């Protein structure tokens, strides 16, 4: 074999080896994601995770704020109710502070009226009757200034809130269920029943 032919064979073999090497070399584009792409994906994942954590924390804090607001409103409402109730009780106490004393004086008024009625039937006690009447009217005036007033019962329909029935009687003057006679006066202290009237009711 001459030298020229030998060199041609060697060149052909070298070219074949070069082509085979190039074919087997991995493509840089197919070798997987680059380092920059991996880092970018990692940063995105971290940001999304952080945003999710922040959102959950914000929702938790908002729920706590709402709970505290509701609790504050309930406490405020309870306090307002307590204040109104206390104020009402204070007004009631001031309004009816004299009720115990006046209740104890009612029998005194009853006895005054009986004494006056008895003295009117006996002319000999006329001067005494006038003196007692003056004292009685003075007492009535003082009690009226405190809010005491006598009920009007006769001729009124029987009402268990104001009347205490002790007897039922037949009556031609009144229809059934009407107070026909007052045995003992009833009294009001302002707008409160201090003592119900003791009455007879038609049947």
pLDDT of 101 above 90: no
Tally of CA atoms within 13 A in the half-sphere of 89 that contains its CB: 6
Percentage of the chain beyond pLDDT 90 is 19
CB atoms within 10 A of CB 149: 14
Predicted pLDDT at 28 = 46
pLDDT of 159 above 90: yes
**Pairwise CA distance, residues 163 & 182, whole Å:** 9
**Pairwise CA distance, residues 120 & 128, whole Å:** 10
Predicted pLDDT at 47 = 58
Average pLDDT over residues 166-188: 90
Q: Summarize pLDDT for 12-46 with one digit per residue, the tens.
A: 655 666 566 555 555 544 445 555 655 555 555 55
Show me where the domains of the chain are located. 47-95, 98-146, 148-203
Predicted pLDDT at 195 = 92
Categorise residue 190: left if φ over 0, alpha if ψ from -120 to 50, beta otherwise: left
Which residues have a Cβ under 8 Å from the Cβ of 129 and sit 6 or more positions away? Answer: 116, 119, 120
Name the token pair of 150. Answer: 């006598």
Q: Which of 166, 192, 193, 194 is nearest to 181 (CA)?
A: 166
Q: Would you give the end-to-end CA distance of the chain in angstroms?
A: 160
Predicted pLDDT at 107 = 86
Average pLDDT, the chain: 77
pLDDT of 137 above 60: yes
Percentage of the chain beyond pLDDT 70 is 71
CATH fold group of domain 148-203: Nucleotide Exchange Factor Grpe; Chain A, domain 2 (2.30.22)
Which residues have a Cβ under 8 Å from the Cβ of 118 and sit 6 or more positions away? Answer: 125
Residue 83 — very low, low, confident or very high, per pLDDT cuts 50/70/90?
A: confident
CB atoms within 10 A of CB 38: 11
């Amino acid at each position: 074999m001459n030298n020229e032919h030998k060199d041609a064979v060697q060149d052909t073999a070298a070219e074949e080896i070069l082509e085979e090497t190039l074919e087997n070399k991995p493509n840089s584009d197919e070798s997987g994601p680059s380092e920059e792409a991996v880092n970018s994906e990692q940063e995105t994942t971290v940001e999304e995770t952080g945003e999710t954590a922040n959102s959950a924390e914000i929702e938790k804090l908002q729920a706590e704020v709402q709970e505290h607001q509701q609790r504050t409103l309930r406490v405020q409402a309870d306090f307002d109710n307590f204040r109104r109730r206390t104020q009402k009780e204070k007004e009631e106490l001031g309004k009816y502070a004299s009720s115990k004393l006046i209740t104890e004086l009612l029998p005194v008024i009853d006895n005054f009226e009986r004494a006056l009625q008895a003295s009117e039937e006996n002319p000999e006690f006329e001067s005494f009757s006038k003196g007692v009447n003056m004292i009685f009217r003075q007492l009535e005036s003082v009690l009226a200034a405190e809010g005491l007033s006598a009920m009007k019962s006769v001729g009124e329909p029987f009402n268990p809130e104001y009347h205490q029935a002790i007897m039922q009687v037949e009556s031609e003057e009144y229809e059934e269920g009407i107070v026909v006679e007052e045995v003992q006066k009833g009294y009001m202290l302002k707008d409160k029943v201090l003592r119900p009237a003791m009455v007879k009711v038609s049947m």
